[in-house]
Amino acid sequence: MSLTSKIRVAVLRGGPSSEYDVSLQTGASVLKHLPDKYHGLDVLIDKSGIWHLGGMPKSPSSVLSQVDVVWNGLHGTYGEDGQVQQILQTHAVPFTGSKSFASSVGMNKHMAKEIFVSHHLKTPQYVVIRSTDDVHERAHTLFQTFVMPAIVKPSSAGSSVGVALVSSLGELVEAVERAREHSPSVVVEEYITGKEATCGVVEGLRGEVLHALLPVEIRTQQNIFNYDEKYGGQAEEVCPGNFSQAEKKMIEDYARRAHKVLGLRHYSRSDFIVSPKRGVYILETNSLPGLTDQSLLPKALAAGGTTMPYFLDHVLTLALR
């Protein structure tokens, strides 16, 4: 196929977030696995938000005027919170992933949890420490009233960045202050012991409106699946996971429902904890899950017999419609 007849795909990667390095790998994976009918353009967005094409700084307008569709390979702030989606929508260019409003809601763990609760999706109890709160005062009150140990996480960050398990007042204060480096507001969440799980959803795959991929079981060396375990190869990821039929069905059902109630588009991945006594709890949903060699969505796709080129073509076809 000649270059002129190929579908031109701008692959956005990098970005001004703490997940810059992960996004570089996601974008590289997309570029590597694009089927032959596509011509990939490597669009690097640096840490200050400047777009680059062919090593040269470019305006979003000049880049987007040269392409037929955009693969959004960004993660975290700017790429996953609705900002870049707003730019793409303003330029009326088709793009993969969710639209601006749904992205901003999905990225905000507090807002997403409120939606989960309102739609009867079981999620751990939580409280929010806002940017205007005094950390020491709020932490002291929380330590006296909230069951410890607890999970502390930035309200708006992905890849388990800034997540910590705390059991003392000192640990709580320190973890909240660290989480605030990634997000103004912080979620303190009930710690539930059990199997960690994740489940991807792809629209239109295998003839289903919302196709749930095989749930992955995550076996960690520590008590939580943090950034180092996720990308340092320290965790064991088993797909299909060791879940009962009832647990598997519930995980898949929750993943589909979360994708739908958050208003997400094309594909997503939801994280769960499966308590042996209390059942399945949804933790959060990722509207742009990683596609690196270490990432969970590609592993689940492969376990179900779907190749990366087929997945990319499928999602790009959805975007172009």
Note down the domain range covering 241.
Answer: 105-122+193-320
Dihedral angle sign, alpha carbons of residues 117, 287, 87, 317: negative
Q: What confidence category does residue 257 fall into, taking pLDDT thresholds of 50, 70 and 90? A: very high
Same domain, 304 and 235: yes
pLDDT by residue (tens digit) across 194-215? 999 999 999 999 999 999 999 9
Distances in Å between the alpha carbon of 140 and those of 27, 76, 189? 43, 30, 16
Q: Token digits for 93? A: 């260019």
Q: What confidence category does residue 4 fall into, taking pLDDT thresholds of 50, 70 and 90? A: confident
pLDDT by residue (tens digit) across 33-67? 999 999 999 999 999 999 999 999 999 999 999 99
Same domain, 15 and 86: yes
Same domain, 9 and 77: yes
Given a cut of 90, whether residue 307 has pLDDT beyond it is yes
Same domain, 114 and 222: yes
Same domain, 167 and 47: no
Same domain, 218 and 297: yes
Looking at residue 158, what is its pLDDT? 61
Residues with Cβ < 8 Å from 144, sequence gap 6 or more? none
Task: Report, as an integer, the average pLDDT of 87-116.
Answer: 96
Given a cut of 90, whether residue 224 has pLDDT beyond it is no
Looking at residue 221, what is its pLDDT? 73
Residues 206, 215: contact at Cβ < 8 Å?
no
pLDDT by residue (tens digit) across 6-20? 999 999 999 999 899
Arithmetic mean of pLDDT over the chain:
93
Given a cut of 90, whether residue 172 has pLDDT beyond it is yes
Residues 215, 198: contact at Cβ < 8 Å?
yes
Distances in Å between the alpha carbon of 41 and those of 17, 64, 70, 213? 21, 11, 9, 29
Identify the domain boundary among 163, 190, 217: 190
